[in-house]
Amino acid sequence: MAYAAAVNGHKVLLYMRDAEQCKSINEKGYNPKYLSQYPLNPSGHDNPAIRGICTTDELAQAMKVTNVVVILALPCQLTPVWVEQHNTIIPENTLLCSTAKGLYLPTKQLIGHAILDSLNRASQPICFLSGPSFAEEIMRGYPTAVVVASDQLYLAVQVQKLLSNASSFRVYTSQDPIGVQLGGALKNPLAVGAGMIAGMGFGSNTLSACVTRASRELCDLCVAMGGRPETVDGLSGIGDLMLTCFSSQSRNQRCGQRLMKGEGVKDIEKDFTVEGVATADVAVAYADMCGLACPIFRTVHALIHKLISPEEAIRDLMGRPLNLEASRANLEAK
């Protein structure tokens, strides 16, 4: 996201904890830890267009500048903690844009509600960026479309203008922050499930069937929790579901594959962030709250926690009562 903003000529400060990483960004124009082969310098000049900062003092100074947008790009389970630690230096009127795609496990909240609670301010301007977007493909300049949502459209439009560029990054707006947050979060356990199918050695028939039926569950659960169905049909629902279920670039998808090879969640999470694991727990809690069957969400959750075997999972899903395809079977109580 820093790169997308820098491409548009904005002054970008990238806050990080590691002083060495910061030094490398400022002196060499490369981030040694993430996507290290890509220069952080869209304009081609020697000086990096993105400057690294790593002290709370520098961050506090940066926050005082007017017209700042703070893009929070942390894993979901860490975002509220970080916000709470920094809430005194985040000005009340500064627009926050969260990119985290997950549901917050400790309180089973949408990430936006958890952030506002951590700030202890319900009125902070906030929006949510989501949609099919592997970071590496953005750095490569591959045309990408995402959506940014806020209750107040003008806040979403601010981020839309900040990040969109006509050659490779197109940002749509939405006034359905609940639907956009839920779509981006709930696709993750389903992508873990898609990886499990590959890990079990099944092929395209199984994957396509599962993703299609999963998209129905995603829609039912999002709508039951207050999102709009047209949002789920969009980039932050079906769009991101397709990306992550059909690509082994997805960390959630790779996690599912590795789980089926016998690895444990804790070991996999040491290698990369997997939002779908914690979010699966919250998804099942939401399904219970809404009285929804959501068999795929429940099966993925049970497999993650090794409550059932892969053979039982297939038997349970394939052995469900036969039904019309378009029936609302998912809406029956479990």
Ligand X SMILES: O=P(O)(O)OC[C@H](O)CO
Catalytic residue ranges: 187
Which tokens go with 117?
């609670």
- Strand duo 103-104 + 95-98: pairing: unpaired
The verdict on whether residue 101 carries a ligand-binding annotation is yes
Query: Is residue 101 involved in binding ligand X (CB under 6 A)?
Result: yes
Could you tell me how many residues of this chain bind ligand X (CB under 6 A)? 12
Q: Among all chains, which residue has been given the structure tokens 């081609």?
A: 44
Asked if 114 contacts 79 with a C-beta cutoff of 8 angstroms, the reply is yes
**Is 17 marked as a binding-site residue?**
no
Q: What DSSP line would sit under 262-308, residue for residue?
A: T--HHHHHHHS--HHHHHHHHHHHHHHHHT---HHHHHHHHHHTTSS
CB of 131: closest distance to ligand NAD in angstroms?
Answer: 8
Tell me which of ligand X, ligand NAD, none is bound by residue 189, counting a contact when its beta carbon lies within the kind-specific cut-off of 5 to 8 angstroms.
Answer: none
Give the β-pairing of 109-110 and 95-98. unpaired
CB of 60 to ligand X, least distance (A): 30
Q: For residue 89, with 0-12 CB atoms within 10 Å meaning exposed, 13-18 middle and 19 or more buried, which class applies?
A: middle
Closer to ligand X by CB, 134 or 202: give it.
Answer: 134
Is 108 a known ligand-binding residue?
A: no
Region 212-251 residues binding ligand X, contact defined as CB under 6 A: 240, 243-244, 250-251
* Residue 268 engages ligand X in binding (rule: CB under 6 A): no
Alpha-carbon span 16 to 220, nearest angstrom: 38
Residue 77 or 158 having the CB closest to ligand NAD: 77
Sequence-separated (6 or more) residues with CB below 8 Å from residue 152 = 125, 175
Is 11 known as a binding-site position?
A: no
Q: Give how far the C-alpha of residue 222 lies from the chain's centroid of Cα atoms, to the nearest Å.
A: 15
| Residue 250: contacted member of ligand NAD, ligand X, none (CB under 5 to 8 Å, by partner type) | ligand X
For ligand X, the closer CB: 59 or 135: 135
Whose Cβ is closer to ligand X: residue 164's or residue 273's?
Answer: 273
The residue whose two tokens read 């995603």 is: 218
Residue length, the chain? 334
- Return the residue matching tokens 């499990």: 196
Q: Which tokens hold the place of 40?
A: 């952080």
Rg (Cα) of the chain, in Å, rounded? Answer: 20
Q: Is 176 in the site for ligand X (CB under 6 A)?
A: no
Amino acid (one-letter) located at 279: T
132 touches, from ligand X, ligand NAD, none (C-beta below 5 to 8 Å by class): ligand X
Min dist. Cβ of residue 334 to ligand X (A): 27
Cβ 71 to ligand X shortest distance, Å: 15
Could you list the residues that contact ligand NAD (CB under 6 A)?
Answer: 16-17, 73-76, 78, 82, 99-102, 133-135, 273, 275
Specify binding-site residues for substrate: 101, 251-252
Q: Which residues are annotated as a binding site for NAD(+)?
A: 135, 251
By the criterion CB under 6 A, which residues form the site for ligand X? 101, 132-134, 191, 240, 243-244, 250-252, 275
